[in-house]
């Protein structure tokens, strides 16, 4: 089977793409980040809720504050990355639903009036958007280094608020020397897909 997307683009987004561990010092611009967001915002979420929020960590002072909340193995590469993004889930996303889901504005109160329901939905749908974001970074010709090794409560207190749940930290930039670990195995189709 042939895909509509050409093989080079398939390789860029999936087959050859890896989690980067080193980066060059070439900066990542606000224009690049906006282009990434303006592409990936079209990825689907339930009720179009779009709960992902992105906090760009640019200043040296903010970077120092961020690094202290990361697992030791993630600190040096994050300190050296050209740009770091904190991806979080907005647990109050429902406030935007009348705008984002205008054909059924009652969804805000009918489905999402209770905080635990919102938190579960925000976590799932923001995680989807985080995956889109990583693919968007790759589509922009950059490398992404997504990480979950951090003190979530410390990160929340330092950069977010009680309405936002940190999901991951993503280093971004052009890959540097020895940026990649060897490709890890993937499961074969027959081990993953069943038909009923």
> Measured at the alpha carbon of residue 114, what is the angle toward residues 111 and 117, in degrees to the nearest 5?
70
Residue 131, in any domain of the structure: yes
Look at residue 184 and tell me if it is in a domain. Answer: no
Asked if residue 196 is part of any domain, the answer here is no
Q: What is the pLDDT of residues 172-195, one digit of tens each?
A: 999 999 999 999 999 999 999 999
Domain count, the chain: 1
Residue 53 has pLDDT above 80, yes or no: yes
> For position 86, which CATH number holds?
3.40.109.10
Q: Which domain holds residue 98?
A: 22-175
Helices and strands, number each (H, E), in the chain = 9, 4
Q: Mean per-residue pLDDT for 79-101?
A: 97
Q: Is residue 193 situated within a structural domain?
A: no
Residue 153 covered by a domain: yes
The pLDDT-based confidence of 133 (bands split at 50, 70, 90) is very high
Choose among 51, 40, 48, 37: nearest CA to 102: 48
Q: Is residue 26 part of a domain?
A: yes
| pTM: predicted TM-score of the whole model, two decimal places | 0.95
Region 132-148 average pLDDT? 97
Q: Is 182 exposed, middle or buried (0-12, 13-18, 19+ CB in 10 A)?
A: exposed
- Residue 16 covered by a domain: no
pLDDT of 73 = 95
- In 3D space, the residue among 84, 170, 86, 166 whose CA is nearest the CA of residue 123 turns out to be 166
Residue 1 has pLDDT above 90, yes or no: no
- Residue 2 belongs to some domain of the structure: no
């Amino acid at each position: 089977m042939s895909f509509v997307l050409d093989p080079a683009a398939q390789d860029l987004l999936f087959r050859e793409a890896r989690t980067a561990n080193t980066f060059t010092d070439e900066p990542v611009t606000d224009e690049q980040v906006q282009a990434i967001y303006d592409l990936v915002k079209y990825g689907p979420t339930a009720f179009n809720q779009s709960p992902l929020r992105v906090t760009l960590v640019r200043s040296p002072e903010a970077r120092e504050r961020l690094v202290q909340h990361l697992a030791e193995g993630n600190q040096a590469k994050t300190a050296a990355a050209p740009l770091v993004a904190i991806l979080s889930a907005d647990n109050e996303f429902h406030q935007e639903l009348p705008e984002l889901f205008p054909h059924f504005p009652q969804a805000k109160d009918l489905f999402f009036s209770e905080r635990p329901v919102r938190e579960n939905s925000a976590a799932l749908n923001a995680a989807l958007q985080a995956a889109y974001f990583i693919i968007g970074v790759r589509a922009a010709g950059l490398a992404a280094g997504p990480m979950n090794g951090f003190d979530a409560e410390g990160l929340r207190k330092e950069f977010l608020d009680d309405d936002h749940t940190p999901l991951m930290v993503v280093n971004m930039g052009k890959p540097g020397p020895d940026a990649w670990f060897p490709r890890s195995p993937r499961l074969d189709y027959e081990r993953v897909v069943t038909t009923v």
